[in-house]
Amino acid sequence: MECIQGILHLNKSPLVFEIHKQSKKLIYSHDNCYCIILNGTIYNYYELRSLLETTGAVFINRSETEVVIEAYRHWGHECVKHFRGMFAFALWDTLNETLFLARDRCGERSLVYYLDKEKFIFSSEIKTIVPLLPRKPELEPAVVDLYLHYQYTPEPFTLLQGIQKLPAAHTLTITRDLKKAELRRYWCVEDTPVISGLPTDTSGILHNIREAFEESVKLILRTNETVAVGLSGGIDSSIIATLARKNISGPMHAISVGYPGRPPYDERNQAKELAEKLGIIFHEVELPVNRFVDFFPELVNIMDEPVADPAAFGHYTVSKAARDHGFKILLSGIGGDELFWGYEWVAKAAIINQNSLFTSKILINLLKTFLPFRMRKRVKKYINMDLTTPDGFFHFLDLTPDFCYAKLNLSYLYGSTMNNLSSLNAYRPIDIGKRSKEQIPAAVIRMLFDTWLIGNCLNLSNFVSVDTGVESRLPFLEPKFINLVMALRRNLPDHKLGQKAWLRAAFKNVLPDEVLSRSKRGFQPPVQEWLNGVVEHYGNILLDGQLKSQGILENISIDNLLKKKNESWNNLFIAYKLVLLENWVNTVYDR
């Protein structure tokens, strides 16, 4: 797994790439007009190479990095629209004296940057960019507030002042004089291309989904390495395992995690049963409670920014098991829930907002029709309701208990630095404007992708991949497949059909019925014990830490929270988020 890092100086050599210890070397074009450093994989680089050769492109070797260079030479900034894969790269264009950075559509690979009048610094990791800054950055209060609401840091924000993320599906062009930085979005899950000739009947839709997903799996299996799959008892990883086994001629392996005593949420038995049916070699790992507590400091160090999802430990354990068994490619079901309404609250958000919009339009028409003109100013906020504010009618994160509890209770913990936060601060990442009734389901998917999927799920996957050197490949997030599913929805919406209705029906004759009928359980470790152990063991660090010294928290609030952490899950989870953040800040500052 490669990390990339570089600096563009105003008054020094045009570009200095400071290569990370795990990075591949800088690649130059055959004529030295371009140089690039790439983190990731372009799955369709064979096809792109053949296409570019017909245009006269010259290739010295068979690397995908060289294909990216020639694609840029031919298509310019539009080259990213032709890539199917996961990537973050920086390309120096000597002809135009510009630095071009790009990130894949869903954000499977990370890229952060810092810009001032003297230099532009970019890196795959926040923790490697901090030592290069002119001074130690302080925490950004508004983003700390976001983290404590979301349990991760939504894009494009970071917790440190002056550092930003290049958002997924964006490019950034920096001129040599550092005076112009142009940010462009080249793809959005909500606005995927219209595809002509698609079926509108259910059977045709299901056939298209099944065929397209198998093509997605085939594409990401382009490797000479032995492949493993992270296999739970759920439908997503089971479909991937089934299709991968069908399309791999050599041996294939599955890795599953469980817990001492095999409690009801331990899915190793179901995973092993499917693996044996498919002829997949099965490996299992058990996670005792004390291992999470003991491993916590190392987990903080692995994560490039704090993500308070305890599933991080499970992700790491599976990836490490893959590495220990010699596997470099790990297939994962991340993205299936986000693309196919796997969370009940997300489908509920779409339905509630469609119903609210219908009711609101009736109310607005009544107000406009029957209210005297002089009275309309008094009710202006109701006549011009905004989908993105809490007093409007777009409900999204308000449907999740952790977000709501944080919204109501965080102010009691905050110190003086947090006094000037807007009451709408927590809603900034989902401020995307108004939508019609027909547009709402896609808008909800877009918000889920832009927040939870990227900030939580893909961050975890990326962090552990970097640390273990195992490449996670995610067929549900292959862009051509996403485009197809979103296009099919325009003809026949599926958000009212139940969890993963299309996916279950599409693979009815492929997977065993007991797998398809199994309800979603997700990653269910002994969370209460894990988090309580961490707060008990490391909680005192809050009493005289960076959060206190920078005015984020007050001492009396910290003391009260630690004393009351066992009174409710919400108190415990907020305490855990704070302990994780404090440990992370210390790790970054001490580096």
Q: Please check whether residue 20 lies inside any domain of the structure.
A: yes
The verdict on 167 and 24 lying in the same domain is yes
Separation of alpha carbons 253 and 122, rounded Å = 37
Q: What residue spans of 455-545 are helical by DSSP H?
A: 459-468, 479-491, 501-506, 513-516, 527-538
Please give the structure tokens belonging to residue 85: 């894969």
Cβ atoms of 372 and 380 closer than 8 Å: no
Residue 336 belongs to what domain range? 191-341+474-516
The verdict on 174 and 259 lying in the same domain is no
CATH number assigned to the domain comprising residue 291? 3.40.50.620
Whole-model pTM?
0.91
419-445 average pLDDT score: 91
Cβ atoms of 227 and 252 closer than 8 Å: yes
Cβ atoms of 8 and 178 closer than 8 Å: yes
3-state secondary structure of 584: helix
Separation of alpha carbons 567 and 383, rounded Å = 43
Highest mean pLDDT among 123-137, 205-219, 426-440: 205-219
Cβ atoms of 115 and 93 closer than 8 Å: no
pLDDT of 293 strictly over 90: yes
CATH number assigned to the domain comprising residue 20? 3.60.20.10
Burial of 537 (0-12, 13-18, 19+ CB in 10 A): middle
pLDDT at 390: 43
Q: Please check whether residue 444 lies inside any domain of the structure.
A: no
SS3 assignment for 346-406:
HHHHHHHHHHHHHHHHHHHHHHHHHCCHHHHHHHHHHHCCCCCCCCCCCCCHHHCHHHHHH
- Is the preceding peptide bond at 156 cis, omega within 30 degrees of 0? yes
Q: Please check whether residue 507 lies inside any domain of the structure.
A: yes
**Number of structural domains, the chain?**
2
pLDDT at 18: 57
The verdict on 202 and 320 lying in the same domain is yes
Please give the structure tokens belonging to residue 411: 């102010």
pLDDT at 17: 64
Strand pairing category for 281-286 and 252-258: parallel
Could you say which DSSP state residue 435 is in?
-
pLDDT at 66: 95
pLDDT at 272: 94
Tell me the pLDDT band of 267, cut-offs 50, 70 and 90. Answer: confident
Top-confidence residue, 266 or 418? 418
Q: Please check whether residue 289 lies inside any domain of the structure.
A: yes
Cβ atoms of 238 and 61 closer than 8 Å: no
Separation of alpha carbons 504 and 237, rounded Å = 13
Separation of alpha carbons 259 and 263, rounded Å = 7
Strand pairing category for 227-230 and 252-258: parallel
Express each pLDDT in 104-129 by its tens digit. Answer: 999 999 999 999 999 999 999 999 89
Residue matched to tokens 């305490």: 575
The verdict on 164 and 240 lying in the same domain is no
Angle between helices 311-324 and 459-468 (to 10 degrees): 30
The verdict on 197 and 167 lying in the same domain is no
pLDDT at 213: 98
Q: Please check whether residue 146 lies inside any domain of the structure.
A: no
566-577 average pLDDT score: 92
335-344 average pLDDT score: 96
pLDDT of 571 strictly over 80: yes
Separation of first and last alpha carbons in the chain: 21
Separation of alpha carbons 354 and 525, rounded Å = 35
What's the Cα-to-Cα distance from 205 to each of 423, 484, 550, rounded to whole Å? 43, 10, 54
Separation of alpha carbons 397 and 288, rounded Å = 32
Please give the structure tokens belonging to residue 581: 């953040």
Tell me the pLDDT band of 369, cut-offs 50, 70 and 90. Answer: low
Count CB-CB contacts under 10 A for residue 243: 23
Express each pLDDT in 153-200 by its tens digit. Answer: 999 999 999 999 999 999 999 999 999 999 999 999 999 999 999 999
Cα pseudo-dihedral 502, 505, 511, 512, rounded to 10: 130
What's the Cα-to-Cα distance from 182 to each of 31, 98, 155, 172, 329, rounded to whole Å? 26, 11, 17, 5, 35
Helix (H) or strand (E) holding 212: helix 202-220
- Using the 3D structure, point to which of 465, 488, 516 is the last residue of a domain: 516
Tell me the pLDDT band of 392, cut-offs 50, 70 and 90. Answer: very low
Q: Please check whether residue 377 lies inside any domain of the structure.
A: no
Q: Please check whether residue 420 lies inside any domain of the structure.
A: no
Express each pLDDT in 492-536 by its tens digit. Answer: 999 999 999 999 999 998 888 888 877 665 555 688 889 999 999
pLDDT at 387: 42
Q: Please check whether residue 81 lies inside any domain of the structure.
A: yes
Cβ atoms of 124 and 111 closer than 8 Å: yes
Highest mean pLDDT among 211-220, 378-387, 582-591: 211-220
pLDDT at 434: 82
pLDDT at 396: 86
The verdict on 92 and 225 lying in the same domain is no
- 414: phi then psi, degrees, rounded to nearest 5: -75, 145
Express each pLDDT in 394-426 by its tens digit. Answer: 678 888 999 999 999 999 999 999 999 998 999
pLDDT at 393: 41
The verdict on 251 and 263 lying in the same domain is yes
3-state secondary structure of 182: strand
Express each pLDDT in 9-56 by its tens digit. Answer: 776 666 666 555 455 578 899 999 999 999 999 999 999 999 999 999
The verdict on 176 and 213 lying in the same domain is no
The share of the chain scoring above pLDDT 70, in percent, equals: 90
The verdict on 175 and 238 lying in the same domain is no
Cβ atoms of 233 and 335 closer than 8 Å: no
pLDDT at 90: 94
The verdict on 182 and 168 lying in the same domain is yes
Chain CA centroid to CA 407, Å: 23
In the predicted model, what is the mean pLDDT of the chain?
Answer: 89
Chain CA centroid to CA 269, Å: 29
The verdict on 63 and 46 lying in the same domain is yes
The verdict on 19 and 134 lying in the same domain is yes
Q: Which amino acid is at 178?
A: L
Separation of alpha carbons 125 and 133, rounded Å = 13
- At a CB cut-off of 8 Å and minimum separation 6, what does 56 contact? none
